[in-house]
Chain A
């Protein structure tokens, strides 16, 4: 596709449930980033992939958060045993390997934990 695609756009889950958020980056982009954006705040870095390798996961807030990109294209962010503080917009971004920053963002998945 022309841009970064994220699904679902909105997700409501009960506390304790597991959720999976999907990101389809721009075709050919080797770098992929996940960010968490709380209401009224700037995005907070979660994790970074270069192709299928997860080079940085220092921003993942707990071991309940897990991300993968097994074939170097589509990525999934999984949150286990969700808690209310996980409510946020989760943004995915991609870029070409030569660009050191997230270049193209998706519209995000708004996650609400009840």
Chain B
């Protein structure tokens, strides 16, 4: 079975400063990795995903994450945050299956607060 650890429950950061949200996973098989963002009173939105290929993946709003198999990590980074980035961020993992599906397991989340 897969599991996800997000060590930081809350991350305060000043506007325009860089940020890193940490994610580590555990799995005995190959994995797909995801980051989701959740704004207050809303559902989750898929931010970016690693399925295969390049280990560095990027989102359209400036976030990036790097898959590190040796360290079993998938940390999320942004070089300069905006007030609008304030939200809850969830790292998630699923096993690579030859059939079409394996359930996605979510981490406990990291609350990012951007300070003006």
- Report which A residues bind B (CB closer than 8 A): 4, 6, 31, 33, 35, 40-45, 48, 50, 55-56, 58-59, 91, 93, 97-98, 100-108
Contact = CB atoms under 8 A, between A and B. Distances in A.
Given A43-B44, A106-B43, A107-B41, A56 B103 contact: yes
Interface of B: 4, 32, 34, 36, 41-46, 49, 51, 90, 92, 94, 97, 100-109
Given A56-B101, A108-B43, A41 B49 contact: no
A48 B103 contact: yes
Contacts of B97: 100
A105 B4 CA distance: 20
Contacts, number: 67
Given A6-B43, A58-B103, A101-B92, 5 more contacts: A42-B92, A43-B106, A44-B106, A101-B104, A107-B43
